[in-house]
């Protein structure tokens, strides 16, 4: 935990733990909390979490209330994608949807410009996918290779990084910190052992900006990102209101604005397919969620009956 007194360990108060109802009510990386500062010995005590202005959530397999907050109060998310091997517009669409859904503002950070020969071309293909989103080009090789990132580092402003392993997230953080605080080059493994090692997840930058780099952000799935999808694919949403039929499936209907846009090249068929795929995936996740909630309820009911039976001396086999 970081306060005006610097960094210290903290734990939740007994009252807090007693009153807590959901896993998501516990403090997460990025939370602002009200504390009693540590005395000479012992930890600071957390009494209260301030309302979160943005949240990245992971749903555990199980009932809906078991959602886990991976990170909170992120202002800006750097979606990191390398201009060489990792370049993938479809993955970018997925990340954008998750970001918009969280309430944080995405910024696309294209890394390893030094390893790319057609940067201009790639930049315009990113612009077509990330409409209205800032796009930055970086390179670790050049002295001023992170110049474009600096204006986003502001006092009291929290940034988180997402993107595939190896795209240069740690390199970027180290550069901003001005020292090598995290291992790069894949030394920081993504294996199972990770959760047992304590790794710093919140970095205070020299100018008062904050960076969150938590492993959980790497495993983000697409859970209930309906709104995020609509925002990411606002071009398609706009087209579909122009279809002649209100319930147009955009497959073979006459007067379909989506099909027309694909035919005249305004909408690429890859983007259209990506949209359909993510929509289907999201619908599946929502279905799975309600299925799991129902199943958990059923399990609870059975458990209740068994308990009641036991009390009455009835044994079931």
Give residues in contact with ligand GDP (CB under 6 A): 111-112, 114-115, 139-141, 165-171, 184-185
Cβ contact 85:168 at 8 Å = no
Q: What is the footprint of Zn ion within residues 138-167 (CB under 5 A)?
A: none
3-state SS, 44-105, equals: EEEEEECCCCCEEEEECCCCHHHEEEEEECCCEEEEEEECCCCCCHHHHHHHHHHHHHHCCE
- Part of the chain binding Zn ion (CB under 5 A), chosen from 22-30, 63-71, 112-120, 237-245: 237-245
Comparing CB distances to ligand GDP, the nearer of 190 and 237 is 190
The residue among 205, 221, 225 whose CA lies nearest residue 213 is: 205
Whole-number minimum distance, CB 274 to ligand GDP, in Å? Answer: 23
Comparing CB distances to Zn ion, the nearer of 11 and 253 is 253
Comparing CB distances to ligand GDP, the nearer of 78 and 223 is 78
Selected from 99, 129, 243, 278, the binder of Zn ion by CB under 5 A is 243
Torsion of Cα atoms, 156 then 157 then 160 then 166, to 10°? -100
The residue among 222, 250, 225 whose CA lies nearest residue 236 is: 250
Q: Which residue is nearest to ligand GDP (CB)?
A: 168
Comparing CB distances to ligand GDP, the nearer of 121 and 183 is 183
Does 256 interact with Zn ion (rule: CB under 5 A)?
yes
What does 247 bind: ligand GDP, Zn ion, none (CB cut-off 5 to 8 Å by kind)?
A: none
Whole-number minimum distance, CB 158 to ligand GDP, in Å? Answer: 18
C-alpha–C-alpha distance, residues 313 and 186, integer Å: 59
The tokens describing 253, both together, are 């209907």
Whole-number minimum distance, CB 97 to ligand GDP, in Å? Answer: 21
Cβ contact 75:27 at 8 Å = no
């Amino acid at each position: 935990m970081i306060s005006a007194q610097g960094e210290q360990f903290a734990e939740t108060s007994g009252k807090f733990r007693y009153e807590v109802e959901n896993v998501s009510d516990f403090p997460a990386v990025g939370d602002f909390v009200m504390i009693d500062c540590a005395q000479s010995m012992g930890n600071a005590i957390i009494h209260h979490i301030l309302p979160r202005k943005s949240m990245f959530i992971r749903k555990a397999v199980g009932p809906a209330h078991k959602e886990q907050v991976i990170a909170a109060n992120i202002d800006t998310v750097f979606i990191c994608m390398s201009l060489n091997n990792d370049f993938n517009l479809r993955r970018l669409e997925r990340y954008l949807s998750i970001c918009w859904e969280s309430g944080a503002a995405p910024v696309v950070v294209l890394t390893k410009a030094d390893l790319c020969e057609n940067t201009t071309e790639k930049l315009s293909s990113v612009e077509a996918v990330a409409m209205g989103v800032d796009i930055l080009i970086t390179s670790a090789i050049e002295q001023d290779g992170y110049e474009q990132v600096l204006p986003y580092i502001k006092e009291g402003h929290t940034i988180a990084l997402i993107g595939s392993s190896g795209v240069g997230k740690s390199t970027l953080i180290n550069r901003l910190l001005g020292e090598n605080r995290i291992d790069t080059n894949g030394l920081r493994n993504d294996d199972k052992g990770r959760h047992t090692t304590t790794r710093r997840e919140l970095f205070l930058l020299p100018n008062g900006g904050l960076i969150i780099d938590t492993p959980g952000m790497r495993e983000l799935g697409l859970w209930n990102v309906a709104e995020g999808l609509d925002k990411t694919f606002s071009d398609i949403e706009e087209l579909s209101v122009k279809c002649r039929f209100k319930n147009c499936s955009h497959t073979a209907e006459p007067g379909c604005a989506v099909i027309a846009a694909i035919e005249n090249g305004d909408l690429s068929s890859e983007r259209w397919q990506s949209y359909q795929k993510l929509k289907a995936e999201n619908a599946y996740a929502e279905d799975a969620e309600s299925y799991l909630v129902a199943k958990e309820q059923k399990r609870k009911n059975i458990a209740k009956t068994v308990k009641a039976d036991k009390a009455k001396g009835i044994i079931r086999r």
